[in-house]
Each structure stands twice: as structure tokens, then as C-alpha cells.
Amino acid sequence: MDPAAGVATVDEMPARRTWLLLVVAVFLGLCPAAASAPQLPAGLQTLEGHWVYAGGDDERQARLDAIDATVRQMSFFVRFIARRMIREATAIPPGYTITVHDHQVRVRKDDDRGVASGWDGQPVRVSENGDAATLTRVWEDGALRSHLQRPRGSGTEIMRPEAGGARMSVKVVVASSHLPSDIAFTLTYRKTSRADAPQ
């Protein structure tokens, strides 16, 4: 700037032009500095809230049948303890609380704190019963797929909103190198208020 004339000098003009172009790029979303976080899928927002188990006796029995179908393929000597351990590990959660905040989703079962993660498949390291595990979540085909990879197996939950968001189906898949086949069953939940949610 020439103090006497009060105008930009020739040397300052390219720098000023670059600065103006940068401002325009930010407003138009063309600059990396203006890059926004991933857009929130509409269906994922539908899952947010408190859910209580709404499946009936047929659904509970279907879970037990799925476990027994796998256990029957095991040695007779381990069936009893294997059946008991699998039933305990796959007990039906009375409820879920799902929150979406700051581009992360947190899924809580019962009164646990849950784990927050993105919905873009980025892995998150967690501790599962003292063992290191990896959690990944991804929103695909209108459902939230949570996959927990443990040292000796994996568990997957596929949460899908139904009935306009009033209900949610949760498909559970358990896999392990110690199991002769995967165990899969589906649970049904209904949305409720916080006062009615399991504590």
C-alpha cells in the first residue's frame, strides 16, 4: 500500500486477489477449509431415541432354536455348557438408547455407557470383557450395521427402523471359530419415552 496515495501497489495486487478468491471459495464450499462433516443419513436420525423390547414368545423361541441348531452340531460332551454360555452371551437386551451427536452415534444397552463411533466404517478400539476388540459401524441399505470383532469371534447387530420409525428390528449374528455355524436371530423393539425406557 502506498501511504501517500492510499492505493494498493502492483506487488500487493496478486496477494489481494488470492485472498479474495479464497474467501469466495470458502463461501461456495470449494475450499478444503470449508469441507463439511459427513451428512447425517435421514434413516439414522429415525433410530435416535429410547427403545424397549417388544418381541413375543415366538421371537424368544426362535433365538433358542437358532442356538440349539448350532449346539447340536457340537460334541455331545460340550453341548450343555456351550448352550448355557451362548444363551448368556446372547441374552435379549431389555432396551437400547441410541443418540446421534457431533457426527457420531452411541448405542447403549440397558444401563451401560455404550461406545460412540462414526457411521462411516472407521474402526474404534474398545475393551470387551478385558479383551481388545474393534468396533465398526456403517449405515447401509437403510440400516445401522455394528460389527464387533473379538480375538475369538465376532458379533454383528443390524438395526433397521420400521413402521415409520415407531419400531426397530435388530438382526443379531454371532460367529466364532469355536462354533460349527453362525447363530442368527432377529429381535423387535418399539420406541418409547425416556420415562418408560429401562433404567
- pLDDT for the residue numbered 187: 98
Report DSSP state, residue 178: T
- pLDDT for the residue numbered 29: 46
For domain 42-196, the CATH class is mainly beta
- pLDDT for the residue numbered 152: 86
- pLDDT for the residue numbered 197: 52
- pLDDT for the residue numbered 38: 61
Q: Cell numbers of 188, please?
A: 423387535
Given a cut of 50, the residues of the chain with pLDDT beneath it are: 2, 5, 7-10, 12-13, 19, 21-35, 195
Q: For the segment 43-82, what is each residue's pLDDT rounded down to a tens digit?
A: 899 999 999 999 999 999 999 999 999 999 999 999 999 9
Residues 96, 48 contacting (CB under 8 angstroms): no
Residue with cell 446372547: 90
Distance in angstroms (rounded) separating the CA atoms of residues 26 and 2: 29
The structure's pTM equals 0.77
Distance in angstroms (rounded) separating the CA atoms of residues 57 and 188: 12
Cα distances (Å, whole numbers) of residue 166 to 42, 46, 160, 189:
15, 9, 11, 9
Contacts of 130 (CB under 8 A, 6+ apart): none
Q: Cell numbers of 86, please?
A: 451362548
Residues of the chain with CATH 2.40.128.20: 42-196
Residues 140, 119 contacting (CB under 8 angstroms): no
Residues 54, 189 contacting (CB under 8 angstroms): yes
- pLDDT for the residue numbered 7: 47
